[in-house]
Structure 1
């Protein structure tokens, strides 16, 4: 375990320009992380240097020594907003009292060359001067450089200051999902999520809603329909061509035809019912066959039980022979055996009698049911024959009506002075072809023509102009509607493709987080789950991550909220969720400030062990754990770095003798 001591000199008030270095060795890291950071007159410090290790960094110090000032320096040095820290809205408030300006410098590891970011803060104007690699630049350039290294100081899953620890449990499920996607998801995951939300918004705007008719009216050649939209409450119109004039030259006995059609439908209905009854009989026959198979299986099972009974009787006989050889026995085993055998035989006889009676009753019942079904079948066959007879009679009527129609056609040709073998003119043939096929449709057409005639009152030039204008508007609206329908189909296709690329990897990511999270809770003899929560799978802005925890065996899993769990339980849940992200993290480092406040000693020790075990692995990113205190006899590993923060007028990092301090402490311990 490496120990680094950070010094705060509060006596040098005139030194308002110095450096805070936070970072790790430049040759050890594969991802961007803090190598060195410098801060001048930053809140607590006049001058200090902090050099963290590549894995877990435990920053320890009493309250007021300036631990959280290191966190503030990291945030402000990486272009973070002051609102993220919750300690003041103006950047000048973070400069040490009595100084007119402060300075923060952070060095980040990057393949091909480290990134050095500097920020000079002016108290009077609350303005900052930014430098990248020693050259003055804009804040936007710094933000882009930080973003390229996957650093998100605004993400509570990566950067959790002391005053924002309670905010984690207050995050909504969608907010937690967004923060998790940005922190550990692949870069395209959050982009696909944003696309889906935008696509869904456009889809809502383009959805076509069915509209009710308000009014229908006719002109000489058009039928107009006025509608009101349920969706937008706007009124729209549509039109369609009115069928041209028709010629009705023949008449038939409509009432007789209608009766025959009804009779044919009744026959067809009876035939359909007969088919259904036959199907039902077939199903019942199949059920009887299955029942017969079941009885055979039961008989086989009883035979097997009878064989087992014989085996048991043989075993009993063997045991009885053995018992006869027992001397000085006061129990008449033979008498008991005979009595037992008699009881067994009586019971078996009763069972056989009951079974035979049941089988006999079942067979009688099935026979009676079969007789009834056969009678029903004969009845249905008679009904079917009667229906066939009626159908035959209907066919005869149909032939008679056909002959009658031919006679009427002959009469019509005679009236029209046409030869019998002469074909109808093309216009008449087309007109008759367009006529409806049923009497009801012909009546409906006549009613439509009557309605059109009633509304027709003559046309003026103004009416014609209005009609032409409306017709043009309708065409434009139809074209616009077609374009919107095409756009809607395109958006739906885009939604389907983006959803497939987003949802499946997201489910796998949440499952990995849940696996880690659940393991951590089980190691603490508690229970916890993480799942992807949504109510409607098409509402992509409502998707979220739900955390549920249980700290007592007598309770159920409850969702993590700001009110249900205690402060310590919320801190444990927050810490374990962040640790579940640790090995999945794309970000170069994570900062957690004083999250162990409010934990009971047992949970604090367990959480500490999980943090040390997880954050000290070489495969994970750099981790800063800030705390004012530590329990005794905790487990430490060589891969972690302990940063001790002190303050005072006479403490100087150049004069600190770590070996002498440890030796003196060991001597004191030995004396006590």
Structure 2
């Protein structure tokens, strides 16, 4: 930048200054003067105007007011020229910005920006836009704060470094993610507790609901069994009806068969009677023939006997007649023999027909008797069947008709036995309210909602854990890269003084315990952490000064200040360090530096703006050398 960031510092009744205007140049500004002349008061005034509260020289701000006055004022004039997009303070249109802080003896104070009163928070927020923090020793190192910085805990050193280089967003992002995670964890714990309570309550209502469900299931089973019992009785009745129907069918079939038997018997009786009559007729005819044949045989026999008893030779005609008669007798005898045989057969047949007739008469009588008996039985069965069918119709009406008929039905005894068991279990459950279902659903809804919220929280927790780990990694990687870059420069500068050292990120995996530790090794010794026991005051000043030099290109603030960096240094190191400062800053117009030293100016240093401070008559006065070159 061509114009200085901080153009001018105006001190009014501030410490040893009654009124002073200190103009600053771009690049390096060196303030020099004897001890007690008021050099450090200039930087202290700048810090107070920037919002610093605590100072080493005064624990109360009112102690900084010049003796004999009640009000002190420090005003800083900043350059804000350029286009809106290039202004240091884009929200302010003025080419210069004045920030004043008024201190009062009663301990109160006020801030003003361009003459308008502002709160301290507003001023700090305005300055934070350009990375200016008066409490950060990496930006403004006050007199005596090197030792204080060395004694600062590593955790605080790291935070100061982060703010100085613009890494505070990394930590802020981590803390923001952790805060969100903490809230989620707290909410998760609350939800878990509520879920446990809801689960306990739900468990009670679940048992009651199971009891209700069991009660309903048992009642449904009871109804099913009662229906099955009714159907078992209906089916039993159907079976009886079927048996009666079968019996009627059997009777009908039996009656029909017996009627056919009777009819057949009557028909056979007629046939037998006819056959008997025919047989008797044949017997009579055969008997008449037998009688005729026997008469004829008797005549032949008598004639033959007479002829045989004729004494003497029979005439030929008689002899022939006798032979003929003998032949006739043989024939008749043969016929009679056959007729006797036939007659005997007819007599046998007659007896058989008589027996058959008797059997058929018995068969007809029995068939008729059985038909009459079966007809009576059939009527009785039909009356019983009608009664059963009427009762079954009534029972079907009670069960809702045949459409409710189950596929299978057990025996009546099996159904009654199970029904008794079901009724006993229903009695054992006692009274069960229908409101239980609504209560169970209500608390299950609460439980499900809490469980869903817990799952969402758990998912968000995992996302935040991953995000937190990612942010920590980004933060750690950025810091480690920064320190790697800074350490190369830091080590190179220290080697020029015969020392070695480095800055280290400790506890990098725990942001709360992580810190910055600066190590320095004396010639021939391994580097050790800076502390008041291991290194001398000059070595500590050298280490901090060179570390700040190595860090300069990474610091965000456009203004940096170093007060009495060379305290405790020997003249050689003091001159060498200042030479490094001048060489590093020489030609740098974008960053404004303010270095304060009480010691004589080195012989080989070119400084853009040298401010001389002296105290005359108890008042600090400002002198200036436009360009100083020691020949």
Q: Give the TM-score taking structure 2 as reference length.
A: 0.54
Contact preservation (8 Å) 2:37, 2:615: yes
Give secondary structure in 1 for the equivalent of 2:62.
helix
Q: Is the 8 A contact 1:206 1:485 kept in 2?
A: no
State the Cα deviation string for residues 625-652 of structure 1 (Å, max 9, x = none). 2122237x54212x43221111214999
Q: Are the structure 2 counterparts of residues 578 and 200 from structure 1 closer, same or farther at C-alpha, using a change threshold of 3 Å?
A: farther
Please state how far the C-alpha of 1:68 moved relative to its aligned partner: 1.4
In the alignment, structure 1 residue 117 sits paired with structure 2 residue 99? yes
Which residue does 1:92 correspond to in 2?
Answer: 62
Tell me the CA shift for residue 548 of structure 1: 1.4
Q: Pairwise mapping of residues 533-572 of structure 1 onto structure 2 (< 5 A)?
A: 533-534=506-507, 537=509, 539-553=510-524, 555-572=525-542
Specify the alignment match of 1:53 in structure 2. 25
Indicate how the Cα distance of structure 1 residues 137 and 612 shifts in structure 2: closer, same or farther if over 3 A, else same: same
Q: Secondary structure at the match of 1:597?
A: coil
Deviation, 1:102, is 1.6
| 8 Å contact from structure 1 (residues 174, 544) kept in 2 | yes
Q: How does 1:107-506 map to 2 (within 5 A)?
A: 107-112=77-82, 113-123=95-105, 125-185=106-166, 188-198=169-179, 201=182, 474-475=447-448, 477-499=450-472, 501-506=474-479
Which SS does the other structure have where 1:529 is aligned? strand
Maintained 8 Å contact 1:192/1:502: no
CA distance in 1, matches of 2:578, 2:429: 92
**Structure 1's 658 and 643: CA in aligned 2 closer, same or farther, altered over 3 A?**
closer
- The Cα shift of 1:192 comes to 3.0
Distance 1:460 1:115, change over 3 A: farther
Quote the Cα distance in structure 1 between the aligned partners of 2:469 and 2:451: 27
Distance in 2 between the 1:220 and 1:147 partners?
A: 59
| Count of residue pairs the alignment pairs up | 396
Give yes or no for contact 1:196–1:540 (8 Å, CA) kept in 2: no
- Corresponding residue to 1:636 among 591, 605, 614: 605
Hey, what does 2:43 align to over in structure 1?
Answer: 71
1:645 aligns with: 613
Supply the distance in 2 between the matched residues of 1:584 and 1:135 (Cα, whole angstroms): 34
What are structure 2's unaligned runs of at least 5 residues?
83-94, 194-199, 208-216, 218-406, 408-427
Please say if residues 609 and 625 of structure 2, whose CA atoms lie closer than 8 Å, have aligned partners that are also in contact.
Answer: no
Cα-to-partner distance string for 1:549-594 (whole Å, 9 max, x where unaligned): 10231x2211223443222222212111211121222101112212
1:523 to 465, 477, 496: 496
The answer to whether the Cα contact below 8 Å between 2:501 and 2:527 also exists between their aligned partners in 1 is: yes
Name the CA shift for 1:546/1:199 in 2 (closer, same or farther; >3 Å): farther
CA–CA distance in structure 1, aligned partners of residues 551 and 457 of structure 2: 43
Shift of 1:148: 2.1
Change over 3 Å in CA distance of 1:90–1:557 after alignment to 2: same
CA-to-partner distance for each residue in 1:20-45, whole Å, 9 max, x for gaps?
xxxxxxx723xx72110111111101
Say which is worse superposed, 108-117 or 614-623, in terms of deviation. 614-623
Question: CA 1:591–1:469 in 2, change beyond 3 Å: closer, same or farther?
Answer: same
Alignment partners' CA distance in 2, 1:140 and 1:522: 43
Residues 59, 67 of structure 1: 8 Å contact kept: yes
- What secondary structure is seen at the aligned counterpart in 1 of 2:160? helix
Residue 615 of structure 1 pairs with residue 585 of structure 2: yes
Cα shift readout 1:26-69 (whole Å, capped 9, x = no counterpart): x723xx72110111111101122222221222211111111111
Distance 1:180 1:529 in 2: 15
- Deviation, structure 1 residue 164: 2.6
CA RMSD across the alignment: 4.3
CA distance in 1, matches of 2:612, 2:67: 24
TM-superposition CA deviations, 1:99-151 (whole Å, max 9, x none): 1212211111223312111223222x222343222334443333332222321
Which residue of 1 is the match for residue 2 of structure 2?
Answer: 28
Distance change in 2, residues 1:90/1:62 (3 Å): same
* Inter-CA distance 165–88: structure 2 relative to 1 (3 Å threshold): same
| Structure 1 residues 624 and 495: CA distance shift in structure 2, 3 A | same
Aligned to 2:569: 599
Confirm or deny: 8 A CA contact 1:203 1:492 kept in the other structure: no
Structure 1 residues 650 and 556, CA, compared in 2 at 3 Å: closer, same or farther?
Answer: closer
Partner of 1:510: 483
What is the alpha-carbon distance in structure 2 between the residues aligned to residue 93 and residue 650 of structure 1?
17
Distance change in 2, residues 1:652/1:494 (3 Å): closer
**Partners of 1:490 and 1:658 in 2: CA distance:** 61
Q: Which has the higher helix share?
A: 2
TM (normalized to structure 1)?
A: 0.51
Deviations 1:145-203 (A, max 9, x none): 22223210011111121143322112222322221121123674444343354356457
1:36–1:619: structure 2 CA closer, same or farther, 3 Å change rule? closer
| Structure number, greater radius of gyration | 2
Q: Distance in 1 between matches of 2:145 and 2:124?
A: 22
Q: Separation in 2 of the partners of 1:652 and 1:473?
A: 76
Aligned to 1:625: 595
Shift of 1:87: 1.9
CA distance in 2, matches of 1:196, 1:576: 35
8 A contact 2:613–2:621 mirrored in 1? no
